[in-house]
Amino acid sequence: MDKKSEYTGKNIQVLEGLEGIRLRPSMYIGNTGKEGLHHLIYEVVDNSVDEALAGYCKKIEVKLNKDGSATVKDDGRGIPVDIHPKQKIPAVEVALTKLHAGGKFDKKSYVISGGLHGVGISVVNALSKKMIAEINRDRKIYTQEYSKGVRKTKLKVIGKSNETGTKITFWPDEEIFSTLEFDYKVLETRFREIAFLNPGLKIILIDENKNKKEEFFAAGGLIEFVKWINKSKEAIHKPIYFKKEAKETIIEVAIQYNKGYRENIFGFVNTINTVEGGTHVSGFKTALTRVINDYAKKKGLIKNGNGSLSGDDVREGLTVILSLKMKDPQFEGQTKTKLGNSEIKGAVDSSVTLALGEYFEENPTVAKKITTKALDSAKARLAAKKARDLVRRKNAFSLGGLPGKLADCSSKKSDNTELYIVEGLSAAGTAKDARNKEIQAILPLKGKILNVEKANPVKSLSSEEIVNLITVIGTGVGENFNIDKLRYNKTIIMTDADVDGEHIKTLLLTFFFRYMKKLIENGNVYVALPPLYRIRKGQKDFYVYSDEELKKKTEKISGSSAVTRFKGLGEMSSTQLWDTTMNPKTRKIKKIFIEDAVEANHTFTMLMGDDVQGRKEFIAENAQKAELDI
């Protein structure tokens, strides 16, 4: 037998303890970059939030320490310290060193839990070079130290205390993570959400490195949350709030319409932000459309036979927070943040239909304002359709109904094709010469597209460039979006590496976020990363993608070299563009995903909308990070 193909029992490895986590950390925390690093804090905080959901914790303190460690302290019951009946070691040691161990599998300890799989704190332990657990319980203070998931000291009593709670301090392992620097802003966003979703829970964030401290507390819960999201918009009524229980699930909803055009539905399940939606969001949308249509017909605002309002009509200018507290949530989707429990759709639908129907009857003034806005949206939708049809007739379309300026690819299989959206005719010409014609299509942009954040849907969907974009991608927009009609597996934004290029990139991302959000959620939107510099040494070229990389590269290359700064894609030859930016085997592209839908919405509103003050504050706060490019 060929020894290379020998596969027997001795080839099967058993990884004891938490070794498997250190070998494949991305399986547990997503990645080993910035997101994965912050995930460590979220996992520890989630344990404290579970104590709050169970009714035992009122305060959580998160501290970023000067030595690079992070401390999470709560005033809950404290992790149990008694000897585990089967493992014969303290229960806290079981929770911190055994995978799939914890109170979340005991339906009595935590009826509702934010953690998904009960792996949280043991994963944090495995990926930390050092962890110290301190527990206040039974009028004593207990402590135990670990390293890389392994116990270093036995559990011991170090003092007395009348308080209860858990304090975890951990030092992320530099062997695992590419960065060890926690981002205050990222944590601030997450903790604000948790405070809104858990009225009465106080979260304190302290950064000793920057001497910053902030407290998050929202006695008003979801009502305060929806007001905070709409703070830079003009609301047309006070928030509508109701709380119902169905199928052992607590359903909380806060609704507020504003005079804008954007739809913002934020779903949460056990404080987890379900950025991809799911059955709870579907149930809400169905109920909202039904209730507003029924009310409009009942009051004679829609005459019999005159059709009905669409989902897009009733959600224009809508901001809603939908928060569920439930047992055994089943998550699916691209980022495992889409609720899949089938029974929840009906439960949310019936609860919202009943509660919102009652509210409309008791508050006719608000009901009329909301219904009138939806009717106005329907009129605008019809006007937009006529305008779109007019634009299509005006344009010189090629066979198949595609814009004439599109250089399509020959392959008709969408699973391996790519659409490059390219800034300017010059760059598009180079890209057309550079591309693999079988799988890569090129769509040139004529200048900057419309800022859809400020424009109403009629104007946005009448714009020639936007109509071309929608036509080429093929999925449709809004309620008519259909991923099955997607023409290209990857939509890649490719712009110049200058201020104008960054602006065009932002305008395009704003369009995708507002009109084709599911395209981002499905993982189909990318940004090309062309090189900033070429270093020529003799007959050999080296390409670098940042100023930091340039410095390192020039230090490594001995002797004299002519560094070239690429300001625009058109400055490269087709061969250079292919080698550096378009060749799937050698290029760098950035996948766009939505980490936090609430923060993404806030950022787009602030950067691209009418929130002038917010934009000024953002510029002032980030000015020191900007680099002057002459």
Q: Which entry of 496, 521, 579, 599 is annotated as an active-site residue?
A: 496
Please name the amino acid found at residue 204.
Answer: I
- Type of residue numbered 186: V
> In the block, which residue shows the tokens 């995903």?
593
What is the CB-side half-sphere exposure of residue 38 using CA atoms within 13 A?
A: 14
CA atoms within 13 A on the CB side of 90: 17
DSSP letter at 118?
S
Question: Which residue stretches of 395-407 are H helix?
Answer: none
Strand 318-325 and strand 264-269: the pairing is: parallel
Tokens of 235: 């609301």
Measure the CA angle with vertex 463, ends 460 and 466; round to 5°: 80
Tokens (6 digits) for 61: 């303190």
Beta-carbon contacts of 609 under 8 Å, excluding residues fewer than 6 positions away, are: 232, 260, 453, 454
Which position among 316, 423, 465, 521 bears the catalytic label? Answer: 423
- d(Cα 593, Cα 512) in Å, to the nearest integer? 11
Which of these is catalytic: 500, 571, 596, 610? 500
Query: What SS3 state is found at 156?
Result: strand
Q: Is 358 a catalytic residue?
A: no
In whole angstroms, give the CA distance from residue 112 to residue 109: 9
Q: Give the Cβ contact number of residue 228 at 10 Å.
A: 18
- Is residue 423 part of the annotated active site? The answer reads yes
Can you say whether the dihedral through the CA atoms of 42, 45, 50, 53 is positive or negative?
Answer: negative
Q: Kindly give, in sequence order, each residue whose CB lies less than 8 Å from that of residue 113, ignoring residues fewer than 6 positions away.
A: 50, 53, 104, 270
Active site residue 498: yes
- Residues 297, 317: Cα–Cα separation, whole Å: 21
Side chain identity, residue 26 = S
Contact between 59 and 74 (Cβ < 8 Å): yes
Kindly name the residue from 145, 294, 498, 571 that is annotated as catalytic: 498
Neighbours of 58 (CB within 10 A): 13
Residues acting as catalytic residues: 423, 496, 498, 500
